[in-house]
Amino acid sequence: MVGQIDRRGLYDWIAQRATALIILAYTLFIMAYLFFCPALNYVAVNKIFSHLIMKMATVAAVLSILWHAWIGLWTVLTDYVKPKLIRLILEAAIIVLLLSYLVWVVEIFWGA
Amino acid sequence: MTRSGLHKNISQNRINYLGSLWLSANPRSVSYKNLCLILAKPKTQRYNRRELSPACVFSQQINRMLEVSEKQRPVYLNLAQFHFPPMAIVSICHRISGVLLFLFLPLMLYILHQAVHSADSFAALTLCLQNGFMKFLVWVMLSAIWFHVVAGIRHLIMDLGIGESLNVARASSYAVFVIVAVLMIIMGVWLW
């Protein structure tokens, strides 16, 4: 609606940077672990990912990635896909995909 | 100067990006002699904020030229020959790597799932990642991660107001490419 000014752009801007920092910390930790872990086997990986803190960090990182990806992809779609209907369909598909990834992560840690 | 001489000049002395955009947006005819005089200027010129930017000078010169040009001839501009500043290339690569990372999300989650599910699935994953194509996919994914991370850190630093001047921004965007290239090589060595 024209004339209505909200602060969504500002919130998106802050959220994009805040989530970026969370993802950055998690990525660097995982990279360092994979790179410097002496023996990368199932026992070691299972042990580290069974810690509650690691599960919390992973879920926090995945939530951040989903939010960050949504802001980024929304920007890209707004810039490059001009027809409104096609853009709406793509945006809906992206939201469904991102939310399904959240279900996947819950399944990974707390599934049968 | 002949037509081929002009052609050579465009590719050698790369046109200032904004100036070239201006020209492509205003495809009015320019005499060959005057266009050559402008394009023959050196690629980079040192200038400070008090002086006019090269793009500004460029458009002023063309304006002056349009006034004096006696022959109205169409100018052919090859878009493929335009030189994009490194900052623009970092920016578009940041976007491309971001979209790539979105497309790689299922692979990341699949690897995590297989790695923590059971000893059998971990062994299956290890076997799967021995495959050359899978290794290549993982390498592309790691490269995209590192590009997005390094360019993102540069972006965050600039958000803090550091390194926003033209020269520093150009240097830091070259630095991004160098750092990512080194990381890509390290990732390749580590995987293979």
Q: What is the pLDDT of residue B6?
A: 46
Q: What is the pLDDT of residue A1?
A: 40
Residue B78, in any domain of the structure: no
Give residue B162's domain range.
84-191
Are residues B38 and B67 both part of a single domain? Answer: yes
Residue B151, in any domain of the structure: yes
Chain B nearest C-alpha distance from A83 (Å): 20
Using a pLDDT cut of 90, give the percent of chain A over it: 80
- ipTM for the predicted complex: 0.91
**Per-residue model confidence as pLDDT tens digits over B72-92:** 666 666 666 667 889 999 999
Best of B111, B114, B116, B121 to mutate (most A CBs within 10 Å, chain A):
B116
Q: Sorting pLDDT into bands at 50, 70 and 90, what band is B18? A: very low
B99's enclosing H/E stretch is helix B86-117
Q: What is the pLDDT of residue B10?
A: 46
Best of A27, A74, A108, A110 to mutate (most B CBs within 10 Å, chain B):
A108
Residue B77, in any domain of the structure: no
Closest C-alpha among B140, B133, B137, B134 to residue B180: B140
Q: Do B122 and A45 touch (CB under 8 A)?
A: yes
B191 in A contact zone (CB under 8 Å): no
Q: What is the pLDDT of residue B84?
A: 84
Answer yes or no: are the C-beta atoms of B13 and B58 closer than 8 Å: no
Q: Is the pLDDT of residue A22 over 80?
A: yes
Q: What is the pLDDT of residue B83?
A: 76
User: What CATH number is given to the structural domain containing B143?
Assistant: 1.20.1300.10
Quote the CA–CA distance of B112 and A4 in Å, as a whole number: 44
Domain termination site, one of B50, B72, B94: B72
By mean pLDDT, which of B56-60, B117-121, B129-133, B184-188 is the weakest?
B56-60
Domain termination site, one of B23, B51, B72: B72
Q: What is the pLDDT of residue B95?
A: 96
Quote the CA–CA distance of B29 and B18 in Å, as a whole number: 18
Q: Is the pLDDT of residue B183 over 70?
A: yes
A100 in B contact zone (CB under 8 Å): no
Q: What is the mean pLDDT of residues A65-89?
A: 96
Q: Is the pLDDT of residue B39 over 50?
A: yes
Residue of B nearest to A110 (CA): B117
Best of B103, B112, B120, B142 to mutate (most A CBs within 10 Å, chain A):
B112
B137 in A contact zone (CB under 8 Å): no
Q: Is the pLDDT of residue B17 over 60?
A: no
